[in-house]
Amino acid sequence: MQGLIEKELSSNDKILKPDFNSRTGRELLAFYLQTKFKQILAFDKKYPMPIFREVNPDFIYRFSKRLINNPEKRFLISITGESAAGKSTICREISKVIEQLSMPVTILSTDNYFNDISQLIAQYGTFDKLRDSGYDVDAPSSFQLDVLKSDLQDLADGLDIRCPMYLPNGTGVSMPNAIEVKSSKIIIVEGTATMYEDVKDIFDIKIYVETDDEIRKKWFVTRAVEERNQDVENALKHWNYISVAGEKYVKPYRREADMIINGKADLKYFAQILEYIYTITNNFQ
């Protein structure tokens, strides 16, 4: 992939920068991006550990149509998948590349939109006891989906927002309007709630991160013990819960994703793909 980047930068065979304010210019850009994306997929198929597991056959056409017909709206990209599939790791890598290349991208997590359950936790004593009582943490009803939908629509229209902040300290507190979120040209939203009804159709690109269950279990337990100070027994108990929740709430939306990507992919290679995408969208005469 690094070779493709260098070839693109050194090539004298470049197109003139299209006039994005004209339909003809946008059509030219769409055709150009279609060609380059097919090039990425062809390269990826030959890579020892490909990133793209599946790509929806009509994705490129729909993306091009959106680019041509509705250029004013910001691009919203969702990244979802089961717990410990690698969503957050991939978003951290995206953040690093964004910082290095000064790309106009905002990243938002739907974990901020959990309901405030502080009173329930106080009633049951701890988050784990509340979970064990049957409270379904990952159900769509456990999120402020109306607030999320409204915020995403505002961001798509170019409006900055202030989103809630859910405190990940076991208290279940959600603070409204706590985090300022800029409406950049590209907005990446990570989390399971991105694929729930009334929210999923707002996105222009839907990405599903997939990793084998045994690897996910290892990652989940390690993270719970080393980063969240849980004991192994409780971590395994919560793993059993999220495995069932994933089958129920997340996997059904896999078929609606525009692309399935490998959560175990080489992050350096993933970063190079992002750099290549940046290069081809900014490397005109």
pLDDT at 34: 86
250-267 pLDDT per residue, tens: 999 999 999 999 999 888
Tell whether 42 and 73 lie within a shared domain.
no
Task: Print the domain residue range for 20.
Answer: 1-51+267-285
pLDDT over threshold 70, residue 2: no
* DSSP assignment letter at 249: I
* Cα(249)–Cα(139) distance, integer angstroms: 7
Tell whether 275 and 249 lie within a shared domain.
no
Tell whether 1 and 94 lie within a shared domain.
no
* DSSP assignment letter at 271: H
Tell whether 5 and 83 lie within a shared domain.
no
Tell whether 79 and 213 lie within a shared domain.
yes
Average pLDDT of the residues in 67-77 = 86
Number of domains in the chain: 2
Read off the CATH number of the domain in which 162 is found.
Answer: 3.40.50.300
**pTM of the predicted model over 0.85:** yes
Tell whether 3 and 56 lie within a shared domain.
no
Tell whether 156 and 197 lie within a shared domain.
yes
Tell whether 149 and 72 lie within a shared domain.
yes
Closest Cα partner for 202 from 87, 70, 88? 70
Non-local CB neighbours of 255 within 8 Å, separated by 6+ positions: none
Tell whether 80 and 212 lie within a shared domain.
yes
Tell whether 57 and 27 lie within a shared domain.
no
Question: How much is the mean pLDDT over the chain?
Answer: 88
pLDDT over threshold 60, residue 285: no
* Cα(255)–Cα(251) distance, integer angstroms: 8
Tell whether 124 and 257 lie within a shared domain.
yes
164-173 pLDDT per residue, tens: 999 988 899 9
pLDDT at 284: 57
pLDDT at 141: 93
Tell whether 133 and 221 lie within a shared domain.
yes
